[in-house]
A and B are shown apart, each in its own frame.
Chain A
Amino acid sequence: MDLARLSTLAVRARTIVEGALSGVHRNLHPGTSLEFTEHKEYAPGDDVRRIDWKAVARTDRYTIKRFENETEMRMLLVLDTSASMGYRRTSVSKLEYATYLCAALAYLVSQQRDAAGLLAFDHTTRAILPPSTRPGQIREVLAALESLRPSGVANADRAADAVNELCDKRSLVILFSDLLDSEDAPAGPTAKGQLADRVRQLRARGHDVVLFHLLDPDEIELPFDELMFFEGMEPGDERTLLAEAGDLAQAFREESANFRERWRTTCLEARVDYRFARTDTPPAELLHAFLADRAGRP
């Protein structure tokens, strides 16, 4: 493992978190139980209203009270590492972008002493770290993230099975994927196909599911204006297209918008938190919006 790169990812995660937490002081999963369990040193992201001022007076350290519900928060980051996630032209790849977000979220959760886990998958499981609050967990998550490379074809079934194994309790499941080709899966030709069904099942099991839909700007606008020879990225994908990209742009933009809209509708129906992200959007900005929304939720 390249310690320098790991360190870079950790720094980047911390930077993203600090930027994202500006003005947001509530954690991802606010507790509702009144049963006190322990004191915890204040960390950015904690609700300042929870600071135990008496304890502060006694120890001269900012301490907050934790309740049972809060200590049970488990977050599983599920990351699609299929070959299509490696597409990049001008900005970072979707996989890199997802890695930053995962690192930041893992960092944030670990700072709150919550359990964070990681599941990376393509046609097979590339990394698996069950949610845990142990001290070395964050480092392992970051290391696993750093080692991920785009390859293969996403297999939603296997990923869903792995999630079920990892999360026997109610968890926050955050899925990062470009969702490309998900609609052409055998289970169904639409957004209500295989992956959609799996997401719906997770939600049915009581998990709080967030879907980060990541797309490169090229996959939204098709900004080419010349004769292009397009080839599929994933293994076994023999699809090619020779076309004057400028002629396709308008139809492509409409198709892309329809694609996002279908997923947004599907998630809304399944009560899944749908988050669309362009990879040219600063991760901190996206995370900030996400945290702000989560903080506002009951």
Chain B
Amino acid sequence: MRFLAPALLLGIVAAALPYLIHRVGKRRALPVRFAAMQLLLRSERRVHARRKLREILLMLARTAAAASLPFIFARPFSERATDLPVVTLDAQAAVILVDDSASMQRTSGGGTLFGRARARAQALARQFPSDSELAFLVTSAGAPPRIGELEPDRARVIEAIESTRCSARPADFTSAMRQAALILAPSPRAHKRVYLFTDLQATGWEDGAGLPAEGAPEVIIDDVAAGAALENRAIIEAHVEPSAEGGPGSIAVTAEIADFSARGVPALGVTLRVDGVAVAQGTVELSPGGHARKRFLHSLAGDGSSSHDLVVEIDGDAFPLDDRRQMHVEMARTLRVLVVDGDPRTTRNEDEAFFFEAALRNGVPGALVTTKLGDDVPVDGLGAYTVVALLNVGRPAQALAVALERFVETGGGLFLAMGDRVDTSLWNERMAKLLPQPLGLVRTASALPGQHTGETVDERPAERLLPLDRRHPLLAAFPEQGDGLVSARFFKYVLLDPVRDTAVRNVILRYESGAPALVEREVGKGRVMLLTTTVDREWTDLPIRAGFLPLVREAARRLVGASDEDSAATLLVGEPRMLTFSGDLQTLEVTRPDGSVWVGKREQAGATRTLAFAGSEQIGIYRVRGAGADETFARQAAQDFAVNLDPRESDPARLAPEKRPDRIAVRTGGATPPKHRIELWHLLSAALILLLLVESLLALRWRRAAAVEDQVEAKAEAKAEVP
């Protein structure tokens, strides 16, 4: 033990004070000549041992208390060898960063890397001199600061570190370092440091160190992986699609598996589980650092359910989070499209169906597309399809109109595209229950030729679309500027007659004139979408624009009830999930994998009827339930979704030394390890307080015992005096 102010130890002479006081007290004894010495001496013999013990105890307590004061003022400390950075021994302003990204859940040496990082961060916080100021952040993307300002109370920081749990999010060191630098910037202290506890995975540093060019704090990185080259094998991608090979209800599940090691695996086991049951198994061969793809075919037909949870697993390793990938599939969403070609041409690229089919086949992998002429439509067989598209159909038969009504009301999707063959009057008569708005006149754009400089495709007068309202889920996937869509030119389109109740239809796209371009309407359980121009190049150049394919893809998926992208049913951790209040739903409940529940209300969704769920922090399947005004909840299996690990976290590649932001060596390679100073004065202070408390309690207890005895005796005497 050593002392910061050893001169103050001279005060140790104060230890003699209790004894001196005791002696002084003796000299002040009151002399009395007493007759009953015999009784007195007997009494003394009785209490002598007890009194002596009490006196010794009290004397010891008081002497120790008096001696401890100069001892405390001398600020004693002990030193212990530490493998934590030696720079922690100075008073400083410091931000402790703990990597809580998913990769830190890797097990190593009986615990996780995160557990080790947290323990070392706590040890670090304890090691700082008491006049230091600390803040505490975690590095996972989007995580709020735990203690976002410099805090002199170390206990609070240690508690915050203790209560932190490892997330499944990817790392974002750049943001965390930037935040740390901002916290430290206003501090007037000479020493400003950032301590980062991480596995030094390269992921999360893509945008740089995040530190300012000037006045950056010192950065000390504590590599909890101890510089080891970590190995990993992961499923970095998996998707499911309908399979034409296995017939109706058959699916193809494809998993991409990667090896992050220098050894590879000759036969890595891969398993497909459907609703918790292993249905297929196989192996893949992984070359060192290589990728392999495994494809499973499985039939879901006949099991009576359209909603399934799929899991692809590989043999486990030290990082289990990426050894499985989960998916949720809704068979009702599978695209089986019947395209009714109302204006067939012999030249393919002049055919109405050509562009539409091409967009579907390329935009929606696994979509089954069947094309028929208007007269060949099997009105009794529409149930085999999930979407029917009428493209420039001139005069739909009454039977077809009735069949379509039934088809849509039972949940089917209907896409309507206009053209010069459309008999608007007949449509308004036979398709009235399906049309979002009655059809009106055909309008020809009035812009002058050559007005749009640089557009050489066609010099006809044309209109464009108004800027996109990306709040609509169908348009959410488009870039902000609407590239590939707003540049499309429209030469002709059908005007729609006004309707009294505008709430029944929703205008998704409008022309510059304000006329609707794409309108939708819900009918029964299904949905109808009306494009007021053609899907070939006759009235518009939209089919040859880049935006056509995603537009058709999103429209088709929305029509089958997959109002969000199918791919969105499988999210990465932290990504938002758009939920739709279809029908009369007023409340949606999302149950997370750990059982906790999130509740969304219809009034929060606004006109688009969609609400973002941002709580996808856990890996697993999220279940959705919905309730109408009567608050009776029912499963909304179509909106269930799976959340998986961001594949970037699977790559254990270490940050290149030249990109490391630290400038101070962390680990001590020398013969003499740095010593951590443990200040003992606060422990001694606590001991002193305890000592004084004990002394007070002892004295109080003895006095109280004597008083009680006096009272008992007085009562006994009073009782004896009563005749």
Residues on B with C-beta less than 8 A from A259 are 39
Cα distance A85–B33 in the bound complex, in angstroms: 12
A180 within 8 Å of B (CB atoms): yes
B43 within 8 Å of A (CB atoms): yes
| Chain A 205-237 interface residues, beta-carbon cutoff 8 Å to B | 215-216, 218-219, 222, 224, 226-233, 237
Contact with A along B19-47 (1 / 0, CB 8 A): 00000011011111111111111111011
A255 and B42: CB pair below 8 A?
Answer: yes
Cα distance A230–B41 in the bound complex, in angstroms: 10
Q: How far is the CB of B485 from chain A (nearest CB, A)?
A: 100
> Which stretch of A119-127, A242-250, A286-294 is in the interface?
A242-250
B40 and A248: CB pair below 8 A?
Answer: yes
A87 in contact with B34 given A247-B51, A251-B47, A253-B713 (CB within 8 Å): yes
Residue in B42, B46, B709 with the greatest tally of chain A CB atoms within 10 Å: B42
Quick one: which of A181, A216, A229, A253 contacts B29, CB cutoff 8 A?
A229
The range of chain B's interface size is 20 to 34
A229 in contact with B30 given A251-B47, A252-B40, A252-B43 (CB within 8 Å): yes
Quick one: which of A226, A233, A242, A244 contacts B33, CB cutoff 8 A?
A233
Quick one: which of A229, A244, A256 contacts B36, CB cutoff 8 A?
A256
A249 and B706: CB pair below 8 A?
Answer: yes
Residues on B with C-beta less than 8 A from A83 are 35
Contact with B along A73-101 (1 / 0, CB 8 A): 00000000001110100000010000000
Cα distance A244–B51 in the bound complex, in angstroms: 9
Quick one: which of A181, A226, A248 contacts B30, CB cutoff 8 A?
A226
A241 and B36: CB pair below 8 A?
Answer: no
The DSSP consensus for interface residues of chain B is helix
A140 within 8 Å of B (CB atoms): no
A239 within 8 Å of B (CB atoms): yes
Residues on B with C-beta less than 8 A from A181 are 37-38
Quick one: which of B34, B39, B51, B710 contacts A233, CB cutoff 8 A?
B34
Cα distance A119–B131 in the bound complex, in angstroms: 88
Residues on B with C-beta less than 8 A from A253 are 713
A157 within 8 Å of B (CB atoms): no
Contact with A along B397-441 (1 / 0, CB 8 A): 000000000000000000000000000000000000000000000
B26 and A242: CB pair below 8 A?
Answer: yes
Residues on B with C-beta less than 8 A from A227 are 25-26, 28-30
B32 and A180: CB pair below 8 A?
Answer: no
Q: How far is the CB of A63 from chain B (nearest CB, A)?
A: 38
Quick one: which of A87, A224, A241 contacts B35, CB cutoff 8 A?
A87
A248 in contact with B37 given A229-B29, A229-B30, A230-B32 (CB within 8 Å): no
A251 and B46: CB pair below 8 A?
Answer: yes
A178 within 8 Å of B (CB atoms): yes
B38 and A184: CB pair below 8 A?
Answer: yes
A146 within 8 Å of B (CB atoms): no
A232 and B709: CB pair below 8 A?
Answer: no
Residues on B with C-beta less than 8 A from A224 are 30, 32
Residues on B with C-beta less than 8 A from A248 are 40, 43-44, 47
A114 within 8 Å of B (CB atoms): no
Cα distance A242–B41 in the bound complex, in angstroms: 10
A237 in contact with B37 given A247-B51, A248-B43, A253-B713 (CB within 8 Å): yes
B39 and A256: CB pair below 8 A?
Answer: yes
A232 and B37: CB pair below 8 A?
Answer: yes
B47 and A247: CB pair below 8 A?
Answer: yes
A70 within 8 Å of B (CB atoms): no
Residue in B25, B36, B43, B44 with the greatest tally of chain A CB atoms within 10 Å: B36
Cα distance A27–B214 in the bound complex, in angstroms: 120
Residues on A with C-beta less than 8 A from B706 are 246-247, 249-250
Quick one: which of A85, A216, A226, A241 contacts B40, CB cutoff 8 A?
A241
A84 in contact with B39 given A227-B25, A250-B706 (CB within 8 Å): no
B31 and A180: CB pair below 8 A?
Answer: no
B38 and A243: CB pair below 8 A?
Answer: no
Residues on A with C-beta less than 8 A from B28 are 227
Contact with B along A120-155 (1 / 0, CB 8 A): 000000000000000000000000000000000000
Cα distance A242–B26 in the bound complex, in angstroms: 8
Quick one: which of A84, A222, A241, A246 contacts B41, CB cutoff 8 A?
A241
A228 in contact with B39 given A244-B51, A246-B706, A251-B47 (CB within 8 Å): no
Cα distance A251–B713 in the bound complex, in angstroms: 12
A229 in contact with B43 given A180-B38, A219-B36 (CB within 8 Å): no
B43 and A230: CB pair below 8 A?
Answer: no
A46 within 8 Å of B (CB atoms): no
Residues on B with C-beta less than 8 A from A94 are 35
Residues on A with C-beta less than 8 A from B25 are 227
Q: How far is the CB of B547 from chain A (nearest CB, A)?
A: 100
A230 in contact with B38 given A249-B706, A250-B706 (CB within 8 Å): no
Residues on B with C-beta less than 8 A from A215 are 36
Residues on B with C-beta less than 8 A from A222 are 40, 43
B39 and A219: CB pair below 8 A?
Answer: yes
Q: How far is the CB of A199 from chain B (nearest CB, A)?
A: 19
Residues on B with C-beta less than 8 A from A241 are 37, 40-41, 44
Cα distance A222–B32 in the bound complex, in angstroms: 12
Contact with A along B122-136 (1 / 0, CB 8 A): 000000000000000
Quick one: which of B29, B35, B43, B709 contacts A180, CB cutoff 8 A?
B35
Complex A-B: 13 CB contacts under 8 Å: A84-B36, A222-B40, A226-B30, A227-B25, A227-B26, A227-B28, A228-B30, A233-B37, A247-B51, A249-B706, A250-B709, A255-B42, A256-B36
Task: Give the 7 A-B CB pairs with smallest separation, nearest first.
Answer: A251-B43, A84-B35, A87-B35, A252-B43, A219-B36, A229-B29, A227-B29
Give the B-binding residues of A (Cβ under 8 A).
83-85, 87, 94, 178, 180-181, 183-184, 215-216, 218-219, 222, 224, 226-233, 237, 239, 241-244, 246-256, 259
A233-B35, A259-B39 are known contacts; what are 9 more A-B pairs with Cβ within 8 Å?
A178-B35, A181-B38, A228-B29, A229-B32, A230-B34, A243-B51, A252-B39, A253-B713, A256-B36
Give the A-binding residues of B (Cβ under 8 A).
25-26, 28-44, 46-47, 51, 706, 709-710, 713
